[in-house]
Amino acid sequence: MTVTPQFKGTHLFDRLCWAKENLDGVQSDYRVVFEDNVDACARILVPDPNWMACALQGGILPPVWVYHELAKDEAQPDFKKHTRGYLLHNTEPVDVMTEEEAIEYLIMKDCPQSVWTNWDEGNRPKMVICRKEQLPQTREWRNAWRISDDLELAA
Amino acid sequence: MAGKIVADQIEGTTTTETVDGASVTIPNVIDTKYVVNGSAKAWINLNGTGTIARRDSLNISGISDGGDGLTDVSLISAMGNNDYAALASGSFNDTASGSTSISTGCRSLATSSVRITMAGSSNNGLDCETVTMTIHGDFP
pLDDT of residue B24: 84
Q: What is the pTM of this model?
A: 0.88
Respond yes or no on whether ipTM tops 0.90.
yes
Q: What are phi and psi of B40, to 5 degrees?
A: -65, 135
Asked if the structure places residue B15 within a domain, the reply is no
Higher pLDDT, residue B58 or B23: B58
Cβ-defined contact of A139 to B68 (cutoff 8 Å): yes
Collect all residues of chain B within an 8 Å Cβ-Cβ radius of residue A16: 58-59, 76-77
Q: Give DSSP secondary structure letters for B89-137.
A: EEE---TTTS----EEEEEEEETTEEEEEEE-TTS-B---SEEEEEEES
Cβ-defined contact of A50 to B58 (cutoff 8 Å): yes
Collect all residues of chain B within an 8 Å Cβ-Cβ radius of residue A44: 51-52, 64-65
pLDDT of residue B105: 93
Residues of chain A falling short of pLDDT 70: 150-155
Asked if the structure places residue B46 within a domain, the reply is yes
pLDDT of residue A58: 95
Question: What confidence tens digit (pLDDT) does each residue in B93-123 have?
Answer: 666 555 567 889 999 999 999 999 999 877 8
pLDDT of residue A155: 47
Under DSSP, is residue A83 helix (H, G, I), strand (E, B) or coil?
A: coil
Asked if the structure places residue B4 within a domain, the reply is no
Spatial contact of B112 and A70, defined as CB atoms under 8 Å apart: yes
Q: Pick the residue from chain A with its C-alpha nearest to B39.
A: A13
Min CA distance, A154 vs chain B (Å)?
Answer: 23
Min CA distance, B80 vs chain A (Å)?
Answer: 5
Q: Which domain holds residue B130?
A: 40-136
Higher pLDDT, residue B21 or B71: B71
Question: What confidence tens digit (pLDDT) does each residue in B53-98 have?
Answer: 999 999 999 999 999 999 999 999 999 999 999 999 988 766 655 5
Domain count for chain B: 1
